[in-house]
């Protein structure tokens, strides 16, 4: 299974010449297990995410995502724009949310889009000039404007210690089943995002995360900050990241439905197992 996941990651990180990548053209898109909106959401895709369409049916497109998730989105939510996807001018947000405007002003028009953390925008100029407004190109090809303070002009991977501090920036973000954006995360979507901050690609779902070859098992009495904690009775149903002193951060629902810090001692989430990064495997999962 690990070998399959690695093949998927490598495929999308190095898209073959001649393959026309499809990109998500809405801020956040639900990925359904069936081609209809009254079915289960398996995950979400974000603005600019690269996907491959494997089937189309009655206004729906079946996509495969970078992390191996396959599901259905409305065909109107994907667009072809190879020059955008391959551009060297893509830069990520550093704000939890960012408004994109049609003019260099917050008035009189409302935002064209409000995109979540984890998305990238295509800049006309990648050097931070210090000016308030930055010109960008949308997936549609339209020109638009975003405020300079929302953009990370020189992104770099975080250390594990930095990620533990950074994770607290999301406290209070609502829990959302299938969520993987600052609009709302589920437990494994939140963990996956934090590992991506370190440049590490791990599976989407908690059960698969526990099986991931990046990690080694660790006993509860030996926990260290940064270890993954898995919860459940018969099977793994929840995941969080250990902060130390018996506390962990996670996106859960049993106290309040949001990203929060909880105590292992409450027993509200039955501890099942734990995992630690295997340093010798980092290169195999790093972008």
Question: 160-285: which CATH architecture?
Answer: Alpha-Beta Complex (3.90)
Please give the chain's pLDDT, 287 residues, in tens: 444 445 444 444 444 443 346 999 999 999 999 999 999 999 999 999 999 999 999 999 999 999 999 999 999 999 999 899 899 999 999 999 999 999 999 999 999 999 999 899 999 999 999 999 999 999 999 999 999 999 999 999 999 999 999 999 999 999 999 999 999 999 999 999 999 999 999 999 999 999 999 999 999 999 999 999 999 999 999 999 999 999 999 999 988 999 999 999 988 899 999 999 999 999 999 97
37: exposed, middle or buried (Cβ count in 10 Å: 0-12, 13-18, 19+): exposed
Q: Which CATH number fits domain 2-85: 3.10.20.30, 2.30.30.40, 3.40.50.20, 2.60.40.10?
A: 2.30.30.40
pLDDT for the residue numbered 287: 79
Tell me which residues are annotated as active site: 187, 238, 250
State the fold for domain 90-150.
SH3 type barrels. (2.30.30)
Q: Where are the domains of the chain?
A: 2-85, 90-150, 160-285
Cα–Cα distance measured from residue 27 to residue 133, given in angstroms and rounded to the nearest whole number: 20
Domain 2-85 shares a fold with domain 160-285:
no
Would you state the pLDDT for residue 21?
Answer: 66
CA torsion angle for 91, 277, 52, 206 (degrees, to 10)?
A: -120
Q: CA torsion, points 7, 80, 18, 48, in degrees to nearest 10? A: -40
Omega of the bond leading into 108 within 30 degrees of 0 (cis) = yes
- pLDDT of 142: 95
């Amino acid at each position: 299974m690990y070998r399959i996941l690695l093949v998927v990651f490598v495929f999308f990180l190095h898209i073959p010449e001649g393959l026309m990548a499809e990109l998500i053209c809405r801020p956040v898109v639900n990925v359904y297990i069936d081609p209809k909106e009254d079915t289960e959401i398996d995950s979400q895709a974000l603005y600019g995410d690269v996907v491959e369409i494997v089937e189309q049916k009655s206004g729906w497109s079946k996509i495969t995502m970078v992390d191996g998730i396959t599901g259905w989105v409305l065909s109107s939510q994907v667009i072809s724009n190879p020059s955008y996807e391959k551009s060297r001018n893509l830069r990520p947000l550093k704000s939890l949310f960012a408004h994109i405007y049609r003019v260099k002003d917050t008035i009189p028009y409302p935002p064209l889009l409000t995109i979540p953390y984890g998305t990238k925008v295509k800049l006309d100029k990648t050097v931070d000039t210090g000016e308030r407004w930055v010109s960008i190109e949308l997936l549609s090809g339209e020109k638009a404007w975003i405020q300079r303070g929302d953009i990370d002009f020189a992104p770099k991977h975080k250390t594990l210690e930095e990620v533990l501090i950074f994770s607290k920036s999301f406290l209070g973000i609502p829990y959302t089943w299938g969520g993987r954006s600052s609009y709302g995360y589920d437990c494994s979507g939140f963990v996956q995002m934090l590992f991506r901050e370190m440049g590490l690609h791990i599976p989407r779902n908690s059960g698969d995360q526990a099986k991931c070859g990046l990690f080694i098992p660790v006993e509860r009495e030996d926990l260290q900050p940064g270890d993954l904690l898995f919860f459940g009775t018969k099977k793994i149903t929840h995941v969080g990241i250990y902060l130390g002193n018996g506390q962990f951060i996670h996106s859960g629902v049993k106290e309040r439905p949001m990203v929060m810090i909880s105590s292992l001692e409450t027993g509200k989430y039955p501890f099942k197992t734990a995992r630690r990064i295997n340093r010798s495997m980092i290169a195999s999962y790093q972008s």
